[in-house]
Amino acid sequence: MAIIHPSTLIPTKLELLEEWLATPASGGLAGPGELRRVGSYRFDDPAGEVGIEALLVTRGGPVRHVVLTYRAEPLEGAAEHQIATMEHSVLGRRWVYDGTGDPVALAAYRRALAGLQHQAALEVWEGDTLVETREPTVGLTVWDPAASPDGLSVRFAREPGAVETGSPALVATWDGGSGVVATA
């Protein structure tokens, strides 16, 4: 389960993405208007240390798939994948990475492509009290799952696309759309 704490984030996720999506490293995001969140989904880190969240965002044009990881400490040897740091009012400083280069996120996607890991349930906690369980705004299904996660190479779709038959794929469905977000 993904534990969500009612909190204040500085910068917010959209502010962070607004800045990062303007850089060449992100691949950018074309389209008019302000950045808007279409939906998101999460995976659990079995060790409970790394937050793994994928956001679908748009500027009124194509939908962009962005995978983020949140860490309590910097990821050694991954400076090129660091997007920013943010202050979380409950958890403190978080180091935010492009999840497409984070080994914990890659392992979660390999397991998902093999049908061995499902998206996380979203639980909202205040201190030690479960306040609510939220439905994800993006649902995931596995198309043609791999026999094993071992040796899978994950390819992320920047823009969710059509299913290619014969290849394991994660298909995301959100209000108003669907598309492949990762393949093996």
**37 Cβ contact partners less than 8 Å away, ≥ 6 residues apart:** 13, 14, 55, 56, 57
pLDDT at residue 10, rounded to an integer: 79
Q: How many CB atoms lie within 10 A of CB 77?
A: 7
pLDDT digits (tens, 9 = 90+) for 83-101: 999 987 777 799 999 999 9
Write down the residue that tokens 């906690």 correspond to: 125
pLDDT exceeds cutoff 90 at 26:
no
Structure tokens at 11: 């910068």
Q: Which amino acid is at 39?
A: G
Q: Where is pLDDT greater, at 125 or 184?
A: 184
Least confident of 9-13, 143-147, 169-173: 9-13
pLDDT at residue 106, rounded to an integer: 97
pLDDT at residue 1, rounded to an integer: 54
Task: Kindly state the average pLDDT of the residues 44-65.
Answer: 93
Task: Kindly state the average pLDDT of the residues 114-130.
Answer: 86
Q: How many CB atoms lie within 10 A of CB 49?
A: 11
Q: How does residue 22 score in pLDDT terms, banded at 50, 70 and 90?
A: confident
pLDDT exceeds cutoff 90 at 102:
yes
**What is the DSSP-derived secondary structure letter of residue 164?**
P
Q: How does residue 30 score in pLDDT terms, banded at 50, 70 and 90?
A: low
Which among 17-21, 67-71, 91-95 has the top mean pLDDT? Answer: 67-71
pLDDT exceeds cutoff 70 at 165:
no
Structure tokens at 166: 């014969």
- What is the C-alpha separation between 134 and 117, in angstroms, rounded? 19
- What is the C-alpha separation between 11 and 87, in angstroms, rounded? 7
How big is the chain by its Cα radius of gyration, in Å? 16
- What is the C-alpha separation between 111 and 149, in angstroms, rounded? 5
